[in-house]
Amino acid sequence: MLELLLPPPVDPLWDLTEAYGADARPERLNLVLGVYRDQTGGTPVMAAVREAEMRLAERSASKEYRGLSGNAAFNRAMLSLVLGSGSGGGAAERAVAVQTVAGSGALRLLADLICRTRPGTTVWISDPAYVNHRPILEAAGLTVRTYGWLDAEGRFDTAGMLRDLGGARRDDVVLLQGCCHNPTGVDPSAQAWEAVAELAAERGWVPFVDLAYHGLGDGLEADLAATRLLAERVPEMLVAISCSKNFGLYSDRTGCAVVLGASRQSLRHVETALQNAARTLYSMPPEHGAAVVTAILDDDGLRALWRAELDGMRARIEDNRRGLAAELTALGWGAQADVLARQKGMFSMLPLTARQMLRLRSRFAIYGTTAGRINIAGLPAHRVPCLAQGVAAVLGEGAE
Ligand SMILES: Cc1ncc(COP(=O)(O)O)c(C=O)c1O
């Protein structure tokens, strides 16, 4: 049997990570994967997570099977965190939430739900998009189309996006990253989100919001504003939530799939459909990360500690971004620096071509994706000048 297996495509990001691992230069800098690193280059366990884990260890609850929807208290906590208690005309009241295997599991489970509801549905994703959006949607059997995201100056292209989405039909679904767009770091303005919400309400297509970086852009509430706005304006919506980045629970695989309906009655089959989909994929999600998140969000003290740590991470990311822009300006690349300074969240898109990114790697041992994406949250502050010098040097060599 196995001799029939054709060589599968290699995951470009893990391929780059391997190349980084084999690079012996001591100054090497890994900015490929979206992982927060502190000043020492480590990815710390947040203090709120550590404290929640201690409390859970003391309680030592049973590891008996949980239900197919995972941890019910976690699901309630996710609904109130993301939709807010008072917002969205009581959006949480007309929503179902199911714990998933991180954000990726939520994306896949919701893609399955779309397919079970209406096979062959078209889902629109941004161009460029998170590298896994298309494969996850296509693996579930959905058709993918794209809408524009950036204009020629690297700004959010409101007109282009609205023009492209003008082609979305009532039966379509539109996948939108709720904040801190991966890979560009460029988000719509509040007015642009208003226009998107208006278009969704008018045309009747279903927004599918992917939330992976809330808290790391403009702050938790600001980063959730677009999701809450959409929830207020449309009858039906899907939300995939990841706790990987904002709780630092990358390997605990913690996330949640949320479905909003026009009424509770319209949701009557949703949870069972999601459970059936989960049953065929992985049965039940892992408990640990969900228990940790619930212990944090349900305790005022731990919640405040987590919010403070999240704000600290956001501030460090912002300092890196501002520092990089300032260094580049000082090196004579002010226009390029301005583009970088407008970006948000864990990622920045360097204004470099694929060839320039390769030169950044070969000459300076700085690893980002060939599309220009770097994890600005993975940069120790004292290395900001090295990155700026490398970028300035390859910019100076020209685009070829
Ligand atoms: C936009 C976006 N969505 C979802 C995810 C999935 O994250 P995870 O499965 O690790 O929770 C990521 C991870 O990088 C992402 O960037």
CATH 3.90.1150.10 in the chain: give the residue spans. Answer: 11-44+315-396
User: What pLDDT sits at residue 90?
Assistant: 78
Which of 104, 209, 249 for mutating ligand 1's site (highest number of atoms within 8 Å of CB)? 104
Task: List, for the chain, all residue ranges whose pLDDT scores fall below the cut of 70.
Answer: 86-89
d(C-alpha 92, C-alpha 244), whole Å: 22
Task: State which of 182, 253, 293, 376 you would mutate to test the pocket of ligand 1, scoring each by most atoms of that ligand within 8 A of its C-beta.
Answer: 182
Residue 107 CA to ligand 1 centre (angstroms)? 9
Tokens of 363: 């000459």
Query: Contact at 8 Å (CB) between 210 and 130?
Result: yes
Q: Is the CB of 175 under 6 A from ligand 1?
A: no
The Cα-based distances of 332 to 79, 317, 335, 395, 396 in angstroms read 47, 23, 9, 10, 10
Determine the topology of domain 50-298 in CATH: Aspartate Aminotransferase; domain 2 (3.40.640)
Phi, psi of 127 (to 5 degrees): -125, 105
What single letter denotes the amino acid at residue 58? E
Alpha helices in the chain (DSSP H): 12-22, 47-59, 72-83, 102-117, 133-139, 158-165, 190-203, 220-233, 270-281, 288-297, 300-330, 334-341, 354-364, 384-396
Q: What pLDDT is stored for residue 86 in this prediction?
A: 60
CA-nearest residue for atom 3, ligand 1, is 212
Q: Is 348 helix (H, G, I), strand (E, B) or coil?
A: strand
> Hey, what CATH topology would domain 11-44+315-396 get?
Aspartate Aminotransferase, domain 1 (3.90.1150)
102 Cβ closer than 6 Å to some ligand 1 atom: yes
Centre of ligand 1 from the C-alpha of residue 336, in Å = 27
- Our answer on whether the CB atom of 252 is closer than 6 Å to any ligand 1 atom is no
Distance of alpha carbon 28 from alpha carbon 395, whole angstroms = 19
- Residue 240 backbone zone (phi > 0: left; psi -120 to 50: alpha; other: beta): beta
Please report the atom of ligand 1 found closest to the CA of residue 104. Answer: 9
- Is any atom of ligand 1 closer than 6 Å to the C-beta of 103? yes
- Is the CB of 239 within 6 Å of ligand 1? no
Rg (CA), the chain: 21
Q: Which atom of ligand 1 is nearest to the CA of 243?
A: 11
169: which residues sit within 8 A by CB, 6+ positions away? 122, 203, 205
Residue span(s) of the chain under CATH 3.40.640.10 come to: 50-298
Give yes or no for a contact between 192 and 224, defined as CB atoms under 8 angstroms apart. Answer: no
Q: Is 182 in the pocket of ligand 1 (CB under 6 A)?
A: yes
Positive or negative, the CA dihedral 173, 177, 182, 184 is: positive
Which atom in ligand 1 lies closest to the alpha carbon of residue 250?
10
Distances (CA, A) of 278 to 88, 271, 293, 394: 28, 10, 21, 47
Distances (CA, A) of 327 to 28, 319, 337: 19, 12, 8
Alpha-carbon distance values, 65 to 114, 160, 249, 286, 351 (Å): 27, 48, 21, 10, 49
